[in-house]
Structure formats: structure tokens, C-alpha cells
């Protein structure tokens, strides 16, 4: 057992299984017996000694129940610890593969998030865009916990079906997978233009609209991605 979720589930089971209520009741009963013993010894009647002895016997029985409860708790805790300790030790000792195990990782640059793409977003040969609703934060948390698979032949982390790379400073960048769209240089330029023009092709800067390097296929691809943009969705409602 080395999964943090599994360990947490076992700890919850330990707490729920302990006979705490029964032990508390036995302790209360033992205390009440002690009070009755004290009251009986203060009596001067003929039956006072007999009552005191009866209360002593009851107190011994209740105390025995409380001690038995403590013994049961100790046995259960030891049994659960035998399962938990190796799992925790394995989780702590397990190294995180890849760059994430060598340096702190940080979220992808804003240029990768569709709703954050703007006029000043840097254009590269390959530009992977993160569609809204993609749980990149959850992916990064999983990478930090060592739950992502490291693919050394591709220099990528694989988590939840998505591939991520890590730059030297520790910045994570998306590559491919569900919710990730990879665009080439011209497609990303077209996407930036559509976002700036809020989807209105007639409002595009002339330099971009007449750029021969941006083909009709590039505009089509960019338009498909733009349909996930917050401005497109707000106009559609």
C-alpha cells in the first residue's frame, strides 16, 4: 500500500472501528462505582460494610471492562499499524521520476491557456492550447505526488492521459492528450487573430488577414479551437 488515498482510507477505518464509546461507558461506570464505595464507607448502618464490599466488587468488574477495552484498542492499533507503516515508508521513500523529482514544478505559461491567449502571446513552431475545463491543476498535483508515469524516451510525464514536458526552470508545458490541442505556428497566429477580433473575420488586422503563410486550413483549425473560447460561448448564449 503506497497510495495516499488508500492510506487515508485505512486511517479512517481505524478511527471508526475503535470501541471508544464502549470504553468511555466502562470508565464512567467504574467512576460511579468508586463514588458509591466512598458513600457506603461513610455509612454507620449495619449493612454499610456489605454495601461497600458489593460496590467494590462492581468497581473491580467495571475497571476490568475498561482495561479490556484498552487492550482491544491496543491490539487493533497494532494490527492497523502493521499495514500502515510499510505503506507510509514506501510512499516517502519512493523517488519521483523525471524532472519533477529534482526541482519544484510550476504551472504552464498563460500562452497555453485558451482564455489567456492574447496579442502578446509568444508564437512557436508547436503551440499546445489548453481548453477550458481541463484539470491541469489536478494533473500537476498528481505529478508532484509522484503519481505520473515518466516516459524517458519521450522526455514527458503522463498523467490522466495527458503528456507534459518540464522546462529546465521547472515550468510545465502541455504536449498532447484530452483537452489539449496542438497547433502549428500559422494556426496559433490565426487563433490569436480570432481572439483579438472576437471571432469577427472582417475585423482582423489586414497584415494577418492577407498573410499568405496563414492558409484557409489554418483559419479553419483556429476557428474550431476558438469555439471553446469564453468570448465565443458568451456570444452564443
Residue 52 scores a pLDDT above 60? no
Check if the beta carbon of residue 193 is closer than 8 Å to that of residue 200: no
Close Cβ partners of 176 (under 8 Å, ≥ 6 residues apart): 128, 162, 163, 182
For 82-137, how does the pLDDT look when each residue is reduced to its tens digit (9 = 90+)?
Answer: 666 665 555 554 567 788 888 899 999 999 999 999 989 999 999 999 999 999 99
Structural element, H or E, at residue 83: helix 48-93
Burial code (b: 16+ CB inside 10 Å, e: under 16) for 204-223 equals: beeebeebeebeeebbebbe
How does the average pLDDT of the chain come out, rounded? 79
pLDDT tier at 1 (50, 70, 90 boundaries)?
very low
143-154 per-position pLDDT tens digit = 999 999 999 999
pLDDT of res. 89: 55
Q: Where are the domains positioned within the chain?
A: 4-93, 110-236
Question: Across residues 209-214, what is the average pLDDT?
Answer: 86
Among 4-18, 74-88, 186-200, 223-237, which stretch is predicted with the lowest mean pLDDT? 4-18
pLDDT of res. 187: 97
Assess whether pLDDT exceeds 80 at residue 178: yes
Q: What is the pTM of this model?
A: 0.59
For residue 83, what pLDDT is reported? 61
| End-to-end alpha carbon distance in the chain | 48
pLDDT at 56 over 50: yes
What pLDDT does 33 receive? 58
What is the predicted pLDDT for the residue at 197?
86
Report the pLDDT value the prediction gives residue 46, as an integer from 0 to 100. Answer: 54
Q: Which pLDDT score, from 0 to 100, does residue 176 have?
A: 97
> Kind and range of the H or E element at 165?
strand 162-166
User: What is the band of 162 on the pLDDT scale with cuts at 50, 70, 90?
Assistant: very high
Grid cell digits, residue 21: 464509546
Amino acid at each position: 500500500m503506497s497510495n495516499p488515498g488508500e492510506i487515508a482510507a485505512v486511517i479512517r477505518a481505524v478511527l471508526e472501528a475503535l470501541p471508544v464509546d464502549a470504553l468511555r461507558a466502562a470508565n464512567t461506570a467504574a467512576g460511579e462505582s468508586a463514588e458509591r464505595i466512598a458513600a457506603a464507607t461513610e455509612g454507620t448502618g449495619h449493612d454499610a460494610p456489605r454495601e461497600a464490599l458489593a460496590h467494590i466488587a462492581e468497581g473491580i468488574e467495571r475497571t476490568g471492562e475498561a482495561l479490556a477495552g484498552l487492550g482491544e484498542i491496543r491490539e487493533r492499533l497494532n494490527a492497523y499499524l502493521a499495514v500502515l507503516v510499510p505503506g507510509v515508508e514506501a510512499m516517502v521513500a519512493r523517488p519521483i521520476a523525471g524532472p519533477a523529482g529534482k526541482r519544484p514544478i510550476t504551472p504552464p505559461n498563460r500562452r497555453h491557456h485558451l482564455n489567456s491567449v492574447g496579442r502578446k502571446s509568444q508564437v512557436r513552431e508547436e503551440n499546445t492550447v489548453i481548453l477550458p475545463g481541463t484539470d491541469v491543476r489536478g494533473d500537476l498535483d498528481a505529478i508532484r505526488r509522484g503519481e505520473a508515469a515518466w516516459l524517458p524516451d519521450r522526455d514527458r510525464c503522463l498523467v490522466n492521459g495527458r503528456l507534459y514536458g518540464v522546462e529546465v526552470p521547472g515550468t510545465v508545458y502541455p504536449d498532447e492528450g484530452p483537452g489539449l490541442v496542438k497547433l502549428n505556428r500559422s494556426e496559433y497566429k490565426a487563433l490569436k487573430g480570432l481572439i483579438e477580433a472576437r471571432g469577427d473575420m472582417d475585423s482582423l488586422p489586414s497584415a494577418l488577414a492577407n498573410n499568405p503563410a496563414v492558409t484557409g486550413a489554418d483559419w479553419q483549425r483556429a476557428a474550431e479551437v476558438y469555439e471553446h473560447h469564453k468570448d465565443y460561448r458568451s456570444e452564443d448564449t
